[in-house]
Structure 1
Amino acid sequence: MKKRKIGALTVSEIGLGCMGFTHAYGGDDEQSAIKTLHRAVELGVTLFDTAEMYGPFNNEILVGKALKPFRDQVVIATKFGFKLERQPDGHIDATGVDGRPEHVREVAEASLKRLGVDVIDLLYQHRVDPDVPIEDTVGAMADLVKEGKVRALGLSEANSETLRRASKVHQISALQSEYSLWTRDPEKEILATCRELNIGFVPYSPLGRGFFASDFTTKSLGANDFRRLLPRFQEGAFEKNRQIITEMEKMAKEKNATVAQLALAWVLSRGDFIVPIPGARKIRHLEDNVAATEIQLTKDDCVRLENIVSPDKVAGKRYDDSRLKLVDK
């Protein structure tokens, strides 16, 4: 697979988001997840994305265990930043964000142990803490780089101003934010800022949380699937949004591709500093996603896709208002 640079790191031009193996979308059994992770390595994927929040905690353990035989071949990214507390019923839940320097060190040390590694390749702040200056948080992250415990730093869902302030403290190698045909917010300012500051852009949910998979329906969602809570997947909005897929299927047939491949190829075409991390719990979906790197879209193709999935045709916000509060606007 071809490589791309994200800041100080060189990675495969498409990565693998690992959240779905244990969190939000219903999860998977360990052996199936490990087989998928190993197949990703065989296909040339080198960027693997996890977080303490995914589980919480058990996703890092799974990823570390699965990738241990390939440690020198892969880049493991993890994220911190939520305040995780055990509830009376034993469930661990996020009750806010925490970017305090002492918390940065605490969670980094814990992530190193769960991953079973000596160094975290890419450490992201999962969400910006509005009550802690970004200079203090990134300063603590930079100390971990100096100590050899972290190789590169990243932020997630941060705005341009925050990126600029953070970059004055230490090089920010990557910004991870949601970006896809139906979520184009980063185009307003973020992509230009990333180019200017030599920051790699890592889109999560580049397939619209599975929406752009041709076989996706809300009936396939498990009872605990996080997407049931998202506005775009609610009754009424989802049916309207499915009309987008009908139009994309026509174009996919012309290109001898799948709808998912078209959606990924479009994200890849936005710039060589962009490395999407679609999730895939099934090997056939993983292979389909990786094959998207071979699809070449013309400028006219891209315009056509953007018209098919124009913002006015998308029903529903990407999050409800309570979750949007966690995005650094």
Structure 2
Amino acid sequence: MADHTIATVELGTGGPLVGVQGLGCMGMSEFYGDTDEAEARGTLQAALDAGVTLIDTADIYGQGANEEFLAPFVAAHRGEITLATKFAIDRSAGDDRRTVRNDPAYIRTAVEGSLRRLGVDVIDLYYMHRRDPGVPLAESVGAMAELVERGLVKHLGLSEVTGAELREAHAVHPIAALQSEWSLFSRDVERSAVGAAAELGVAFVPYSPLGRGFLTGAFQDAGADLSAKDFRRFQPRFTGDNARTNAALLEPVRAIAAEHGASPAQVALAWVQQRADVHGLTVVPIPGTRRTTRLLENVAATRLRLAPEELAALEPIAGKVAGDRYPDMSSTSAARE
């Protein structure tokens, strides 16, 4: 596949024009073990050079450290990127006592912190990272809408909400993007959220489209293969018997990759990208990486097209996956379906 800039799409009705693949920056600061900061900065530049313009972070990543890490890059390329960050997960009491906060007072405080750490006057896309069912959605989205009115935020997004919740939120203020986990291994969003997004003209931004690296074959058992700092060691589907079961599900991914002279990661990303055709909506996956080589591999997947028979061979995988995507699924949309 020749190397060239990727295609662009509109991120939701009336939303910004972005590259059809974005970049998740979480792992540059936390969760996936140690990071080479210089290499991560090089990856950011390589992403922009390839046309990857949706840069995704959150205030929870490194407890603000990821936003601060991105600030110099953002300052150097402010007019070239679409900057997305998120609020809602409060770690101030410690990781073992995380709480989800959707109350308007918290939202107003959170946005000020993100603006300061990122060194910007306005955030292009501001997501509610997780939903607190104890706070009326109209109150939370209403507070987010106030941020748009004040010129602090341009567009609003939600993460891990159901189709019904997306419709309710969109009635309060237009939602540009819905970000939730969606991959060959995780398809619960197809129950209601994907259809609602298509109906409303909301773009879908799949996070973990590579199954947190498992779909690439980079590791087979998180408990044995990954460092003590890697949070994947605590995700049920990546350890023990579940990991062995799930590793066997990758055989058709590898076979299709071999036919195309591609990598399993590229097949997995192409599958996610082609959900746009299947469901009739804009899809902008945000695979995360700290390495330029992986970034270029991921970008090349935007030019890989899977044939109908190949898509059919991949169709049964998600239904056979063993283990949940989190130890506690209570804050995901799946728990509220």
Q: Following superposition of structure 1 onto structure 2, how do residues 244-255 of structure 1 map, counting pairs within 5 Å?
A: 244-255=249-260
1:189 maps to what in 2? 192
| Unpaired runs of at least 5, structure 2 | 1-5
Partner-residue secondary structure (3-state), 2:180? strand
Match of residue 202, structure 1, among 195, 200, 205: 205
1:100 Cα shift?
0.7
Residue identity opposite 2:38 in structure 1 = Q
Partner-residue secondary structure (3-state), 1:176? strand
CA distances 1:120-151 after superposition (whole Å, capped 9, x unpaired): 00000000111111111111111110111100
CA distances 1:84-133 after superposition (whole Å, capped 9, x unpaired): 2145xxxx665211111011110001100100111100000000111111
2:141 maps to what in 1? 138
1:318 maps to what in 2? 325
1:49 Cα shift?
0.6
CA distances 1:49-103 after superposition (whole Å, capped 9, x unpaired): 100000111001112222321110000100000222145xxxx665211111011
Residue identity opposite 1:185 in structure 2 = D
Residue identity opposite 1:299 in structure 2 = P
Write the distance in 2 (CA, Å) between the matches of 1:134 and 1:27: 37
Partner-residue secondary structure (3-state), 1:209? helix
Match of residue 54, structure 2, among 47, 51, 58: 47
Contact 2:74 2:118 in 1 (8 A): no
Write the distance in 1 (CA, Å) between the matches of 2:298 and 2:258: 16
Contact 1:6 1:273 in 2 (8 A): yes
Write the distance in 1 (CA, Å) between the matches of 2:88 and 2:174: 19
Aligned length: 321
2:26 maps to what in 1? 19
1:162 Cα shift?
1.1
Write the distance in 2 (CA, Å) between the matches of 1:101 and 1:310: 37
2:305 maps to what in 1? 296
1:234 Cα shift?
1.3
- The runs of 4+ residues in structure 1 deviating greater than 4 Å are none
2:158 maps to what in 1? 155
Match of residue 105, structure 2, among 96, 102, 106: 102
> Given the two structures, how large is their TM-score scaled by the length of structure 1?
0.94
Write the distance in 1 (CA, Å) between the matches of 2:129 and 2:53: 21
The root-mean-square deviation of aligned C-alpha atoms, in Å, is 1.4
Partner-residue secondary structure (3-state), 2:249? helix
* Sequence identity percentage: 44
1:280 Cα shift?
0.9
Residue identity opposite 2:243 in structure 1 = F
Contact 1:38 1:67 in 2 (8 A): no
1:214 maps to what in 2? 217
1:273 maps to what in 2? 282
1:235 maps to what in 2? 240
1:311 Cα shift?
1.0
| Unpaired runs of at least 5, structure 1 | none
1:4 aligns with 2:9: yes
CA distances 1:207-234 after superposition (whole Å, capped 9, x unpaired): 0010111333434411011100001111
1:284 aligns with 2:293: yes
Write the distance in 2 (CA, Å) between the matches of 1:281 and 1:29: 8
Partner-residue secondary structure (3-state), 1:55? helix
- Structure 1 stretch displaced more, 58-67 or 12-21: 58-67
> Given the two structures, how large is their TM-score scaled by the length of structure 2?
0.92
Write the distance in 1 (CA, Å) between the matches of 2:229 and 2:126: 28
Q: Would the alpha carbon gap of residues 146 and 169 (structure 1) be closer, same or farther in structure 2, given more than 3 Å must change? A: same
Write the distance in 2 (CA, Å) between the matches of 1:116 and 1:204: 25
Write the distance in 2 (CA, Å) between the matches of 1:247 and 1:201: 26
CA distances 1:238-292 after superposition (whole Å, capped 9, x unpaired): 1221112233212211111110000000000011511100011111111110000
